[in-house]
A and B are shown apart, each in its own frame.
Chain A
Amino acid sequence: MAGEAVQKRRRFLQGVLGAAVTSFFVPIVYGMGRFFSFEGSPIAGASLKMSAADLTPDAPSKLIEIGGEPVIVVRAVDNSVHAYTATCPHLGCVVTYQAENPGFFCKCHNGKFDAKGVNLPGSKPQEPLKELVLKSQADDLEVFLTPIKQA
């Protein structure tokens, strides 16, 4: 009987220890999860000014660099101007714009996106290119390294 009581007490104490260890590590693991899943860039909000006249029907796209990040500015078929991140979401190569068959193309793994930067099914990238905030006044453009919030 005494042995059984000791066993019982031991199991209880082991349970207490296990609970203590768990409650010690759970917040740490939670905090680390939050820490590592952050999405953002130290250069968010940086901008670059350019002229819309640089985008001609012959060369409707221009690759620029904002704070070290490649950005592609495109004059679309409807003549509107848009800016996208030029980094392929697959493995990070720089994409190019193809005017003849409007859309983006990544040479590294044959990644394909439509004219609005949405990844095409069947190609490697699983995410669209991010469209960036662009302010225009007549021909003066200012591209911001800030993604347009999706509705």
Chain B
Amino acid sequence: MEQSNTTAISGGTSKHPTELHSGPHSESVAELLHVGEISNGLHLHEVAQALHLKQLQDAIKQKSVPKHGSSIWYYMGGLTMFFIVIQVVSGLMLLVYFEPTTQLALKSTAMLENQVPYGWLVRSLHSWTAHAVLLMTLLHMFSAYFMKAYRPPREILWVSGVALFAIVMGMGYTGYLLPELSGKTLRQFFALHVGVLPGLLAVLGVLHVVTAGFIGSSTPIGAKVKKRILFFPNYVMSELVVWLVAFAAIFTLSWVMPVAMSAVTSVGPKFTATQWIRPEWFFLFLSQTFRYLSGWIGNSFVLVLFLGWLSIPWLDRRSRKNEKSRAFNYIGIAIILYMTIMTTLGYMTIAQEKDAPKTEQTPPTK
């Protein structure tokens, strides 16, 4: 059995705090902050000691990332985080002008779109990046799945990651309809979208990223580690380049293909465009499932799938022993097939409804 679960951080040198700045040539954060202590009396040096900043710095210095054939997938998690940061910034900017009331939801969005300088761009960025977050989350989650990165001691990363997937799905679901909604639904969706879900996302996201940083990246079973790359600065720099390219791509998309405003620009009676309102692509596999299995059957089915997905690290016993587990590869492929087929069927259903908008209220026959 190979030892592929070595933790990347060997840090945690258990020096007594008073020894921390005894080294004559160590440029520690604590020492740098020591200057601050003298000038402002904030006792930052003690704070730095209490927070174990020196150990943290040592740990980061020693942290390394394995390089092997599947290393490219390691960028997906960082990209997800980067896109979420864009979402927070652009979302806070939208929050300055969006008014979550029945009378003004649509009008304030139209004002943002047509009058506020670069308002259309911020809205467009928020919309495109939402798609990017979902896409990257899916890529990150399935790459972690097929690389069996959920093996011990990384169960917590899988569980928090699946929960984060549910949260970003919820963010997407509560976000894209906000300008169209009214009354209590508008207030509830707004509260979820800008309060409840971002709060959960922040807590679980920090847990996920910090834990990943400390446990280090997993190496797929049987992968040949060519070498290890220093996390800082080498890996961080390569990650920054990826982020810059991603930002350029998302910015170009937002500029060249701004979000469709068909529903929002017409400040006419609400919901005239109902036939065009459809679930986003990332939600189609679920909405289509609920078309076939309505009520408690559908809910139970999705709940069981979700709980099963959460428990993967414990269900996959062979991976726990670092043995190849073909069965779970097939399960993963089956799930991707299921999602793809349901999404395709979802698009076909939408196409049918577009052709016959009058029958949109009647439940589908199949």
Chain A residues near B (Cβ < 8 Å): 31-32, 34-36, 38, 40-43, 67-68
Contact = CB atoms under 8 A, between A and B. Distances in A.
Interface in B111-146: 111, 115-119, 121-122
A34 B118 contact: yes
Given A42-B104, A43-B104, A67-B103, A31 B111 contact: no
Nearest to A38: B116
Nearest to B119: A35
Contact of B115 (A32, A38, A67, A68): A38
A40 B107 contact: no
B110 A42 contact: yes
Given A32-B93, A35-B93, A40-B111, A68 B103 contact: yes
A34 B115 CA distance: 11
Interface string B283-318: 000000000000000000000000000000000000
B99 interface: yes
A35 B107 contact: no
Given A31-B117, A35-B117, 4 more contacts: A31-B118, A35-B122, A42-B99, A68-B103
Nearest to B106: A42
Contacts of A34: 117-118
Nearest to A44: B111
Interface string B325-362: 00000000000000000000000000000000000000
Nearest to B96: A36
A35 B111 contact: no
A67 B267 CA distance: 15
A41 to B, nearest CB: 8
Interface string B78-110: 000000000000000100110100011001101
Nearest to A20: B244
A10 to B, nearest CB: 15
Given A42-B99, A43-B104, A35 B115 contact: no
A42 B108 contact: yes
B236 to A, nearest CB: 15
A107 to B, nearest CB: 27
A45 B108 CA distance: 13
A42 B121 contact: no
Q: Which 10 A-B pairs have the closest CB atoms?
A: A34-B117, A42-B107, A42-B108, A42-B111, A38-B116, A31-B118, A35-B118, A42-B104, A40-B115, A35-B117
A67 B116 CA distance: 20
A133 B111 CA distance: 20
Nearest to A33: B117
Nearest to B251: A28
A36 B95 CA distance: 11
Contacts of B119: 35, 38
A40 B104 contact: no
A148 B97 CA distance: 23
